[in-house]
Amino acid sequence: MKRHIPLLLLFIGWMGLMGFGCQPKKQTDESVLAPEDTVPHVYEYGICIDSMNLNRFEIRPGDNPALIFARLGFTALEADSMSRASASVLDPTKLRAGMHYCTLTTQDSLETIRYIAFAKSLTDYAIIDLTGDTLHAFAYTKDIHLKRKYIEGTIRSSLWNEIAASGVSPLLAMEIADVYAWQIDFFDVKEGDAYQVIFNEAFVDDTTSLGVESVDAAIFTHQGKTFTAIPFTQDSVFEYFDPEGNSLRKAFLKAPLDFFRITSRFSNARFHPILKRYRAHHGVDYAAPIGTPVKSIGAGVVISKGWAGGGGNTVKIKHNGSYTTSYMHLSRYAKGLAVGQHVQQGEVIGYVGSTGLSTGPHLDFRVYRNGQAINPLEMDAPPSLPVKPELRDSFLLIQKRYVAELDSLHRQYRGTVLNL
């Protein structure tokens, strides 16, 4: 593959742009359109490639832009100029083996490179433009398209396993857990619990899935009780509500971890496995792998961060005039976390560890109301604001539409994902 761009070719390229390249269609009567005028142009990276060849390559271990440019036939001086021109959109330190890059070349024997495109992700690219007298580089992002889908099922082992078995990304289980974080402990789901979910999956190029983007609406049946999630936005805040218009979001999350196993509950006389004696355990122990993110169950201010004796690395958060929470045995803290910092509900404050008096990785989570320890598993936090009266008619229209759609899809479902 040759790299040179003679003046003659540049002139030919200029002539092409003037009259022989991809041009907007002229407004004319459809009856006089020539057959070639009806053929749609082909674009890649925002560039019309009708008169160019696209060649794909894979980055090798140890590659950097200079090596790649040399392999494409550029001189050291040209490679240096290209590296400088692309510095604002291409970070050489973030190129990894297995990522790809492409060249767009002329369709002739010279195969002159007109553009080079480096993939930075499935959607983001750095484009080097060699068509002009001056090198130019720019960033390009592919369009992401959402496809609505529907799935339902009955749990036999876990929500994660059931969704994975259906062929859908099991990360949908995480999205569902987020929707119902204030109502359902997803490590307490039982065999026979069921779900119906309308969700959005993101795609690039209409074929490559980027994973589950969001839950549109859902019904989850847990221990015989039905929880319906209807999406609605008020005061520019998106939330899920029950059919009566009550928010599913409460002041506190159900638990500070997404996935866990309770190994010790709130007790006034628990036998301590290290101290070998009975003493009060005014918290709940959640077993989870080291490094599992720990989230603040509610918005508040960090009032303590540091070593707490038997509690190891500990963070305490004051949520309001009544409630304070404590997170113990952390392996490390969230980056930048500091005393006096405001944190949001669901914000990661640290990671599960086994520091202090601990026999294994777990989180010792405690809740205090007015200074007195209370059982976190029995805490009933108040819900956030329901749908406002002046918005109730709008909400009911949306509620009826989603409830009807979920009912219709349930009757159509035959065990495979429905594309809507």
Rounded to an integer, what distance in angstroms lies between the CA atom of residue 163 and that of residue 29? 52
Domain with residue 409: its CATH number is 3.10.450.350
- Report helix, strand or coil for 262: strand
Final residue of a domain: which of 125, 141, 157?
Answer: 141
- Tell me: pLDDT of 266 over 70: no
- The domain tally of the chain equals 3
The percentage of residues in the chain with a pLDDT greater than 90, rounded to a whole number, is 45
Final residue of a domain: which of 97, 126, 141?
Answer: 141
| Whether residues 301 and 336 fall in one domain | yes
* 254 within domain boundaries: no
Residue 264 confidence (pLDDT): 62
pLDDT tens figures, 309-355: 888 999 999 987 778 999 999 999 999 999 999 998 899 999 999 99
Residue 8 confidence (pLDDT): 39
Residues recorded for the chain: 420
Tell me what the mean pLDDT of segment 151-160 comes to.
Answer: 91
Q: Whole-number mean pLDDT of the chain? A: 84
| Whether residues 338 and 394 fall in one domain | no
* 94 within domain boundaries: yes
| Whether residues 294 and 346 fall in one domain | yes
Confidence of residue 23 (pLDDT cuts 50, 70, 90): very low
**Torsion angle of C-alpha atoms 66, 68, 73, 76, degrees rounded to 10:** 0
Final residue of a domain: which of 121, 141, 161?
Answer: 141
| Whether residues 299 and 371 fall in one domain | yes
Other beta carbons less than 10 A from residue 365's beta carbon: 23
* 157 within domain boundaries: yes
Tell me what the mean pLDDT of segment 206-231 comes to.
Answer: 92
* 255 within domain boundaries: no
* 84 within domain boundaries: yes
- Report helix, strand or coil for 168: coil
| Whether residues 284 and 222 fall in one domain | no
Domain with residue 312: its CATH number is 2.70.70.10
42 neighbors 49 (Cβ within 8 angstroms): yes
| Whether residues 217 and 341 fall in one domain | no
Confidence of residue 385 (pLDDT cuts 50, 70, 90): confident
Ranges 26-30, 281-285, 336-340: which has the least confidence: 26-30
What residues make up the domain containing 32?
A: 7-141
* 36 within domain boundaries: yes
| Whether residues 106 and 168 fall in one domain | no
| Whether residues 393 and 245 fall in one domain | yes
| Whether residues 277 and 372 fall in one domain | yes
Residue scoring higher pLDDT (375 or 279): 375
| Whether residues 398 and 342 fall in one domain | no
| Whether residues 321 and 229 fall in one domain | no
pLDDT tens figures, 95-135: 889 999 999 999 998 899 999 999 998 899 999 999 988 88
